């Protein structure tokens, strides 16, 4: 199967399951559920859950029983976007071509929609009866660490404090990327390694892949903010330069950023060597991240 076909197939399952998950029969909670679903089903590419399922498959397991785990990952990703877009944070009006959550439901409800999605993700992870509970505890511990104050939330706090400060330099940029974006890609892969019973050698290879693949994604994201088409991206471009935000495309030249992205993608592919032919989809996925236009 080609990558595009593979991604569409997985996305179909993920989208269908995400539509089923969050519903309520309590009238008083309806607006909250509507606002959570608005962002959750607002056209995400589902890269993180697809990545998780693809790694499980590469490890020789059927990924289907782990669909809800993948959906939990998307819930946490969506919560982070809703909170990032708030006026007190990045103050963005559009996301994926739609109005951001707080533009539709108001700030208070958007904060709660994020809180709800984050908490629900843990409920979903903890309730997977078909998975051994020792694995569930390990997954939640790994995941919460990655998404919490020492990971994604920390990265967002650093981002908030360093906005308008181009002086954070390449080390600051690396930390920011690692904590804010890379960490959830890495977690998607860590969870897959737990569920797929990866050996130590396989884990080491996956760690390298996660690092370079996340970097490829991030540099491309930074480049797209400069050269992307706002209609295709579904959000305005040029905001990083306007906000004097240190990114790979504002600290380096575009040419240099492109070279770094290409280098990261090659390192990502190389790290999958131990998996031989089984790595084809994941190699193509990193290529896709490099050439993506949205």
Q: 22 to each of 26, 35, 100, 123, 248, how far by Cα in Å?
A: 12, 11, 19, 12, 37
Closer CB to a second copy, residue 24 or residue 270? 24
CA-CA distances (angstroms) from residue 216 to 26, 220, 223, 268, 285?
A: 43, 6, 11, 8, 11
User: Whose Cβ is closer to a second copy: residue 8's or residue 107's?
Assistant: 107
- Decide whether 111 or 251 has the Cβ nearer to a second copy: 111
Q: Which is nearer to a second copy, 86 or 237 (CB)?
A: 86
Residue whose CB is less far from a second copy, 157 or 293: 157
Q: Does 226 bind a second copy (CB under 8 A)?
A: no
Q: Which is nearer to a second copy, 120 or 209 (CB)?
A: 120
* CB 80, min distance to a second copy, A: 8
- Return the C-alpha torsion angle 79, 218, 164, 87, nearest 10: -20
Which two structure tokens, joined as six digits, stand for 193? 């390694």
Q: Which of 6, 38, 66, 120 binds a second copy (CB under 8 A)?
A: 120
- Length, in residues, of the chain: 294
Residue 46 in the binding site for a second copy (CB under 8 A): no
Site string for a second copy, 168-207 (x = CB under 8 A): ----x--xx--x----------------------------
164 binds a second copy per the rule CB under 8 A: no
Does 276 bind a second copy (CB under 8 A)? Our answer is: no
Under rule CB under 8 A, residue 123 binds a second copy: yes
140 binds a second copy (CB under 8 A): yes
Structure tokens given for 77: 């990703």
Q: Can you tell me which of 7, 14, 22, 51 binds a second copy, judged by CB under 8 A?
A: 22
Size of the site for a second copy (CB under 8 A): 57
Q: Binding to a second copy (CB under 8 A): which residues in 58-117?
A: 83, 86, 88-89, 106-109, 111-112, 114-117
If one asks whether residue 148 binds a second copy (CB under 8 A), the answer comes out as yes
Residue matched to tokens 């919490």: 148
Using rule CB under 8 A, residue 161 touches a second copy: yes
Give 198-205's long-range contacts (Cβ < 8 A, gap of 24+).
198/59, 201/274, 202/59, 202/274, 202/275, 205/271, 205/272, 205/273, 205/274, 205/275
Nearer to a second copy, 178 or 280 (CB): 178
Q: Using the rule CB under 8 A, which residue among 29, 238, 253, 293 binds a second copy?
A: 29
Write out the residues near a second copy by the rule CB under 8 A: 22, 24, 26, 28-29, 31-33, 36, 83, 86, 88-89, 106-109, 111-112, 114-120, 122-123, 125-127, 132-134, 136-138, 140-141, 144-145, 147-150, 153-154, 156-158, 160-162, 172, 175-176, 179
């Amino acid at each position: 199967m080609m990558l595009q076909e593979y991604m569409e197939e997985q996305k179909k399952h993920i989208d269908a399951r995400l539509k089923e998950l969050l519903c309520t029969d309590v009238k008083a909670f309806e607006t909250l559920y509507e606002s959570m679903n608005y962002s959750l089903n607002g056209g995400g590419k589902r890269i993180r859950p697809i990545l998780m399922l693809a790694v499980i498959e590469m490890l020789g397991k059927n990924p289907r029983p782990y669909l809800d785990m993948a959906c939990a990952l998307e819930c946490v990703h969506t919560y982070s976007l809703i909170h990032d877009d708030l006026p007190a944070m990045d103050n963005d009006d559009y996301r994926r071509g739609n109005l951001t959550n707080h533009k539709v439901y108001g700030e208070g409800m958007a904060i709660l929609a994020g809180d709800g999605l984050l908490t629900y993700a843990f409920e979903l992870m903890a309730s997977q009866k078909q998975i051994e509970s020792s694995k569930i505890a390990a997954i939640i511990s790994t995941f919460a660490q990655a998404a919490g104050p020492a990971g994604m939330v920390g990265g967002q706090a650093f981002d908030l404090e360093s906005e308008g400060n181009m002086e954070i330099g390449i080390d600051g940029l690396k930390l920011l990327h690692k904590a804010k974006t890379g960490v959830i890609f890495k977690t998607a892969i860590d969870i897959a390694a737990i569920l797929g019973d990866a050996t130590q050698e396989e884990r080491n290879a996956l760690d390298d892949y996660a690092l370079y693949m996340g970097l490829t994604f991030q540099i491309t994201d930074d480049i797209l903010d400069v050269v992307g088409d706002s209609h295709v991206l579904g959000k305005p471009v040029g905001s990083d330069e306007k906000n004097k935000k240190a990114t790979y495309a504002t600290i380096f030249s575009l040419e240099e950023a492109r070279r770094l992205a290409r280098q990261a993608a090659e390192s990502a592919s190389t790290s999958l060597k131990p998996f031989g032919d089984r790595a084809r989809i994941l190699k193509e996925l990193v290529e896709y991240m490099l050439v993506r236009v949205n």
